[in-house]
Structure 1
């Protein structure tokens, strides 16, 4: 089973790479070309709007991958404590649904961004996902229906803002270094996921799931503050996004 899973995901990854190589094209709105300078790129990245947009992304990533990594374990523990007849197979299936509903969340997040702007869309998503993270670990095991309801909301909103941080970078960064800014933002964002994925089981073992998930909620809380700063900057420049 594990071997089939690895082979399947590897083939899908390869197919995605080939699709991007053979079918994807640059959009109609190109960015000015320039000679790369590490010093200038770092200076562009440390500009306040770029830094705040990236900080919002880091808060998003702090929560996202830890939630995806540990939700199945959490739900299995809920089932065990509730004396439910449901098995770990149910926990795996429910986790699949919770993660998959994020696809709908991305669509809604994008539609919302078209109406109110990427900054506001990201803020809304982080408020909802952070609230779910702060609450779900404290729900009694007997209220399984409520756990599942909050989990679906969490899975929906935890990823709904993901694309908006990249959009913000394209809006606020030095246009000569947009590609470098996006690359650096994403690389650092994935690095942020490492300590929290490791920390969650340690927190759970010592303080329980409630506090472990509250720790995840710190990410979107910081992210909201950061993106509010970006929103003020955009309004100041008349973009309102």
Structure 2
């Protein structure tokens, strides 16, 4: 892997560890703050809402394509680290915790989409494979707080969150030193970006197909990641508050990084659209089958959850690659930011419903997520039926 891409994906791993840092302390927060379980969804959605607001600002204002992506990434990572650290040190309930998680999400808007733009600026011809590594690191970063909590068994819940802040500061330094790549830089004579011009990308059939498939994928992905600890409990694979549960959650979420990398390799021959379709079909199958595993042996439950964890995110980088190819080069940053904003708005609905209903639905909560990958397959059909385009 090219050195610049390696730096970007490692920085993505460190920066996105902020995303689910509070979820790694869910049991402690519920107990100390005396909250019902559904309020973990509220804290998660505060991050999602901040991310949505940040990506909409970047997209509709054109800021994502007016300033160096590396500069926006670095500033955002520092801001996210500070807000995340403040949550660990000063939050004492939802009233103070929710605004700080919102600020973390706002900062992540300058990390995730701009990380994608940085990858494209260094490797435009192999965007699918390179973005697979980037989203793999996003996945591992999302799982990382669970892993830190598992390794630091016995430490205060604040410790894992503060480690995430330290990693985000390191990510800022790495990207600031790297800078932007030589591709997709705006020409000196390029017309200025107009407010809202990015919306015209949806008039392009290829961009529209990719974006709509991504929206279906998003209905499932973040709700699944939020619900993994509950799914492990419902399946009888972990006990509440156990270190084993943190390790199990890290495994189920983190294996998605391997799914992304495998999809990136496959995209070189099969094309990004067909890899995305395969991942959607696999995760839909896992959604469908999970409620039937109640009486299955533990090894079968583990196999299905790990397959689900690997496939649920393996399609994500390919939606970004397909969308980046389908829009004008000078609008890539804004188009990806808008796609992210709309997709993450969808996640708020599935997260809120999932966390509120999982206690009543049990393992059948998986069927709440099933429409996402099914609709994603339908939307992507015009692209995966075409001749493969190498990722």
TM-score normalised according to structure 1 size: 0.86
Quick one: distance in 2 between partners of 1:12 and 1:42?
35
Give the corresponding residue for 1:18.
173
Number of residue pairs aligned between Structure 1 and Structure 2: 234
The offset of 1:88, in angstroms, is 3.4
Give the corresponding residue for 1:79.
236
Give the corresponding residue for 1:145.
299
Contact 1:79 1:87 in 2 (8 A): no
Structure 2, gaps ≥5 residues long: 1-155
Contact 1:132 1:154 in 2 (8 A): yes
| Residue of 85, 89, 110 corresponding to 2:243 | 89
Quick one: distance in 2 between partners of 1:74 and 1:239?
36
The offset of 1:149, in angstroms, is 0.6
Equivalent positions of 1:47-196 (< 5 A) are 47-79=204-236, 88-196=242-350
Give the corresponding residue for 1:5.
160
Give the corresponding residue for 1:221.
374
Quick one: distance in 1 between partners of 2:167 and 2:215?
27
Once superposed, what is the RMSD of the aligned Cα atoms? 2.6
Deviates more, 1:27-36 or 1:121-130: 27-36
Deviates more, 1:146-155 or 1:193-202: 193-202
1:47-77 per-position Cα deviation (integer Å, ceiling 9, x unaligned): 3321221111111221111111111112113
Give the corresponding residue for 2:45.
none
| Residue of 45, 63, 74 corresponding to 2:202 | 45
1:159-196 per-position Cα deviation (integer Å, ceiling 9, x unaligned): 11111111001221233422211110112222221111
Instruction: Give the direction of change, closer, same or farther, for the CA distance of 1:114–1:200 in structure 2 (3 Å limit).
Output: same
